[in-house]
Structure 1
Amino acid sequence: MKQVNSSTFYQEIIKASYQQPVILQFWAPWCGPCHALTDTIQHVESNYPFPITTAGIDVDQNTDLALDQKVMGVPHTKAFVSGYPIDQFSDPLSEFELTLFIQNALLWPYILRYSHYTENPENKWIENLEQSIERSSRKEVYLLTLARHYFFTDPDKSRKFLGMIPDQSDQMEDRLFITDLFALMEVQYSDDPVIKKMWAAKNSLAKKNFESTYQFLLQANRMNDPSTQELPKMALLAFRQFLGATHELNRKYSTQFSQVI
């Protein structure tokens, strides 16, 4: 596991995460659990063929960087994809839990079509998440990932995973928005100009053409009278949440989104 600091953080973590996920551990020399987690990370890296990069940051030597990343205690570990953290945990994870954390980080960019990731994920990662989910302390996080994945290929299965996320879960908001997004997939063609745009958005989403989906939804909301139809606004909000706060398209269209919502 390479060690990075404030001067190498951008090159080794941010820039590197555009090529493959980077698992970054924040640690301190005096922290016993940190050393135990480091051993686990290195063991997984040596024994599993995951296409990831692992790195560590000594928070005592890089306090400003730790604060900038909102790290309040150690050990703390983040998975970076396309320049942003997409998942994290604080308590040391077992080898079993760490492999699930990594597989989730590997699946995320492919499910959500990050432009920098061109290869397809291995089916065994998806299968392993499904088979292991009941034994995981982070079950609800992975249920949401699987719901996103199956949204396109098996809607019933996607709804099943969403239904397994309890109301008190931290993933509840995402569950509701993905459920709302299914309403877009039920839109039928109409001569109504707004519905035409919604229908086009539906077809683009079915093909995982996320940029066209975004554009059609924005156009539908510009044309729509909110007092007449709620679906355009609901679908745009749901789609934005589906992609996640740090997705490149949410960053690209943030101004236009703010203008219509």
Structure 2
Amino acid sequence: MDGRFLACYEEWLRIQGADLNELLQAVPTQNGNSDLSEGQLRQLVDKNMRHYEDYYELRRRLVRNDGPAFFSPSWCNSFENSVLWIGGCRPSMFIRLIYSLSSADLEAHLDSLVAGSSMVAAAVASASHGGGAGLVGLSSSQLAFVNDLHKATLKDEERITSQMATLQESVADRPLIPIVKERQQQRSRSGASSCGVNGDSGDQEVEAAMQEYAEAIASMVEEADRLRVETARRLLSEILTPKQAVELLATAKQLHLSVHEWGGQRDLKQGRCRGC
């Protein structure tokens, strides 16, 4: 099964690289022009979104076979694993990238935007200064939509994180704890050592309990994936113009591929080698 996961991820990296090359050719030049029309840019954005949706549909089928594997995937390097949230990137990272592409003034107001304070008006005014430039060229109305999406996404992330915490804590409850206590009593009666759980791994009751947990984990990954896809779809298709969406997609893919490369190099320096 690990081979199927690895093949899925490596194919996704290949698609990411091919899409990035196409996006970089379409990114507007410094004077704001692009060789592609707005309609062609929209088609390119839609193509990237389809690739994104196809990848997560394949993940959905795979995660049902082994949900826990997505929390520390062997097909990612250790640095990639350290920044995972429920088996992938945080959905709010897409929005954070928009802020990272913005002016220093808007970045200074990020906390105020998330909190929805009176500083929003000042940030919007800053974004609109100079004919609507700033924040990848977002207008004041677009900035308001981004702000609303950011707050809603953070709320959904917190909800899923809380559900995940409850699920993880359930390991200390039923159905595993009664099984552990029963095994301990059996060992005490037989005079066997209390250390280890030799033989338990093949026990049907244990397998059933762990499978129940694994299925719940898989459901959490699926829910997180839906939020990832929905956040990207709303940004790319509903809020950003085609030119803005192309710029955001190019930046996101550059970040992903660079972290994958740099993290792999770091693992090699640390003496870690995937597949060795």
Q: Which has the higher helix share?
A: 2
Tell me if both proteins adopt one fold, taking TM over 0.5 as the criterion. no
- Which category describes the TM-score, using the shorter chain as reference length? under 0.3
Greater fraction of residues in strand: 1
Q: Give 1 or 2 for the bigger CA radius of gyration.
A: 2
- Greater RCO, 1 or 2 (C-alpha within 8 Å, sep 6+): 2
- TM (norm. structure 2) is 0.26
User: What TM-score do you get using the length of structure 1 for normalisation?
Assistant: 0.27
